[in-house]
Amino acid sequence: MASSDKQKETVVLAYSGGLDTSCILVWLKEQGYDVVAFLANVGQECDFDEVEKKAYALGARKIHICDCREEFVSDYIWPWVQSNAKYENRYMLGTSLARPCIAKNMVAVAKQENASFISHGATGKGNDQIRFELACYALLPGVKILAPWRLPEFYNRFKGRPDLVKYADEKNISLGVAKTKLWSIDDNLMHNSYEGGMLENPSTEPEAVMWQRTTDPTKASDTPDLIAVTFDGGVPVKVVNTTEKVKITGALDIFLYLNQLGGKHGIGRVDIVESRFIGMKSRGCYETPGGSILFAAHEDIETFTMDKELIKIKQCLSVQFANQVYYGMWFSPECEFTRFCINKSQENVIGTVNLKLFKGNVYVTGRESPISLYNEELVSLDVQGDYEPMDAGGFIKINALRLQEHSRVKRMKM
């Protein structure tokens, strides 16, 4: 039970209005805390008015709903586009990128409310507890974290979803479809992610109704969309749909539009098993339509405009960036340094990539740049250009020296 000194303590709760955080809000009130709910709009499907009403009905003293969409795209998704980063070469980091954005704005509310505690509904087995808390500790040193799913008095009482549903019924907490949902969903501008429930069996194919953001590629439009994505400094600045004669500018509008197009054509679905930071494997399904389009476009224009040795260094940085973001280290000195270096590498990544979107695929059909490193005369098979073919012989012999020495040593061992 709550002690008298806790009754005046304020806790800012990362609140979504779903089963876990709704039950946690009521449970925190039972423990004697003064609860301020916080909800970041990072592009998730949500009736924000209803969530606000529900928070007050459940006993929150106040709720802050922050529109973070522009910030999310410009300050978090665009650096990811520049990075070409995929965690374990497959996961496009949609949830991982949203967490520092959410945490930064939640910390601002905690300061405003003079709160002693920050709380969340992340489980004790997952990555999100790490991402939220590392960001909060970095931005608000001395803050205390209340993580109910790590407290014995909470997890011994609530063994899992059925116990939460029973508690919600007892406390008249409205759940809607949450009672019957067969998997956990996290969505934001970047992606939809699905885990838990039937997906915990890695051999089980997801039900078709699970996918919410993308059309089944086999049932997608029979007419492709032809688009052109323009980059400046590795950042998307314009999208032109030559099929529909549409031009889009502005960070948020570009990403929303590419999400729409990607979803229409069934682009961006993956079903993977990944390595959580905390040390276990997990199975997740993801839909990243707009991100998948931009990944393909940026990768192409970067190769077109960037020196090959710089590309090698950048690829190493991309792996580091993927790990740093996935592990919740966005506000670490190493991640700040990595982002700085990646951004520096993008100075000449300028130009336009032409793409065809069709039945789950992104096809690159051409590219152009005012400062490309592609020299048509130099590379042409029909024109000699500023190149002396005889020089290639010496080049080959020099590179063959170490191969010859390697073979010599191998023969000595025989």
pLDDT digits (tens, 9 = 90+) for 333-361: 999 999 999 999 999 999 999 999 999 99
Confidence of residue 379 (pLDDT cuts 50, 70, 90): confident
pLDDT of residue 263: 98
Short-list 255, 236, 243, 215, CA closest to 359: 215
| Whether 128 is catalytic | yes
Annotated active-site residue in 34, 128, 186, 300: 128
Report percent pLDDT > 70 for the chain.
Answer: 97
Sheet holding 351-358, edge to edge: 246-249, 235-241, 225-232, 351-358, 361-368
The alpha-helical segments, DSSP class H, found in 128-287 are 128-139, 152-155, 161-170, 251-264
Longest pairwise C-alpha distance within the chain:
88
Annotated active-site residue in 116, 119, 184, 193: 184
Is residue 1 over pLDDT 50? no
Burial of 315 (0-12, 13-18, 19+ CB in 10 A): exposed
Strands (DSSP E) along 196-333, which ranges?
A: 225-232, 235-241, 246-249, 269-275, 281-287
Cα dihedral sign for 311, 314, 316, 322? negative
Burial of 266 (0-12, 13-18, 19+ CB in 10 A): buried
Tokens (6 digits) for 192: 């939809």
pLDDT of residue 2: 46
Annotated active-site residue in 16, 20, 34, 225: 20
| Whether 61 is catalytic | no
The per-residue pLDDT of the chain, averaged, comes to 94
Annotated active-site residue in 99, 213, 283, 339: 99
Lowest average pLDDT, out of 169-178, 235-244, 402-411, goes to 169-178
Confidence of residue 3 (pLDDT cuts 50, 70, 90): very low
Confidence of residue 300 (pLDDT cuts 50, 70, 90): very high
Is residue 228 over pLDDT 80? yes
Determine the Cα–Cα distance for residues 222 and 255; give it in Å rounded to an integer.
Answer: 23
Domain 192-306+348-368: give its CATH superfamily: Argininosuccinate synthetase, chain A, domain 2 (3.90.1260.10)
pLDDT of residue 71: 98
| Cα 244-365-243 angle, rounded to 5 deg | 5
| Whether 307 is catalytic | no
| Cα 387-391-393 angle, rounded to 5 deg | 135
CA–chain centroid gap for 13, Å, is 22
Segment holding 191, helix H or strand E = none
- Coarse DSSP helix, strand, coil percentages of the chain, rounded to the nearest 5 percent: 45, 20, 35
The 10s digit of each residue's pLDDT in 308-321 is: 999 999 999 999 99
Q: Where are the domains of the chain?
A: 4-181, 192-306+348-368
Same CATH topology for 4-181 and 192-306+348-368: the answer is no
The 10s digit of each residue's pLDDT in 23-75 is: 999 999 999 999 999 999 999 999 999 999 999 999 999 999 999 999 999 99
Residue 28 phi/psi, 5-degree rounding, is -65, -40
Domain 4-181 belongs in CATH node 3.40.50.620 = yes
| Whether 184 is catalytic | yes
